[in-house]
Amino acid sequence: MQVISLSSLIEVATDKSEVFQYLSTFRSEKNEDVETFLHSKAILNEKRALTRTSLVVDDENNNEIVGYFTVLIKPFDLTEKVSKESRKKLTGNKNAEIFNSILIAQLGRSDLYKGKISGEVILQYALENCELIFDLVGLRIVCVEYDDIPYLNDFYLKNDFKILQVNRNNKILAYLRF
């Protein structure tokens, strides 16, 4: 397996429709939002420099898309329920009302690889990219935002994320600190 950036695919493609066609091979029935993002929003967000998407591909099997992840830098407002201790840990200031983070905005595995490759593998590739961001700019907080679904909660907690708060959009915000 290898990780390739969507921007590099766009750059080398002779026809934009080739990239759309390639991305459309990714399927995720369990999470339609993950599938829809890759099919219809990833290229536009990449070109507008809103997000960076990376594909995990099976280089031994015709470069099939195993999974993908999308990252961006995002500020989050802290809710009143976040303790002063947590605020200090995240920002260095116990009275902080906002903090910046690397957000793993999308994370998904292809249905073709269910039972073959774990979600943890895709997450580890995403975290490796986050470490590169940390090395470049010093931003050490990685966040994920997700619906309060037991299997997602278990997945992120098992992978060392800590729940910080429930955001205004009713999504759980969890973080990991390098």
DSSP one-letter string for 94-161: TT--EEEEEEEEEEEE-GGGTTTS-HHHHHHHHHHHHHHHHHHH---EEEEEE---HHHHHHHHHTT-
What is the pLDDT at residue 14?
87
How many other CB atoms sit within 10 Å of the CB of residue 18? 13
- Residue 20: which of 2, 38, 1 has the closest Cα? 38
C-alpha span between 14 and 18 (Å, rounded): 8
What is the pLDDT at residue 173?
97
What is the pLDDT at residue 45?
97
How many other CB atoms sit within 10 Å of the CB of residue 65? 22
Report the amino acid identity of residue 28: S
In CATH terms, is domain 2-177 a member of 3.40.630.30?
A: yes
What is the pLDDT at residue 159?
97
- Can you give the pLDDT of all 178 residues of the chain as single tens digits? 999 999 999 999 888 899 999 999 999 998 899 999 999 999 999 999 999 999 999 999 999 999 999 999 999 999 999 999 999 999 999 999 999 999 999 999 999 999 999 999 999 999 999 999 999 999 999 999 999 999 999 999 999 999 999 998 999 999 999 8
C-alpha span between 30 and 36 (Å, rounded): 12
Task: Tell me whether residue 103 is exposed, middle or buried, using C-beta atoms within 10 angstroms of its C-beta: 0 to 12, 13 to 18, 19 or more.
Answer: buried
Q: How many helices (H) and strands (E) does the chain have?
A: 7, 7
Q: How far, CA to CA in Å, does 150 sit from each of 127, 146, 147, 172?
A: 22, 11, 9, 11
What is the pLDDT at residue 110?
97
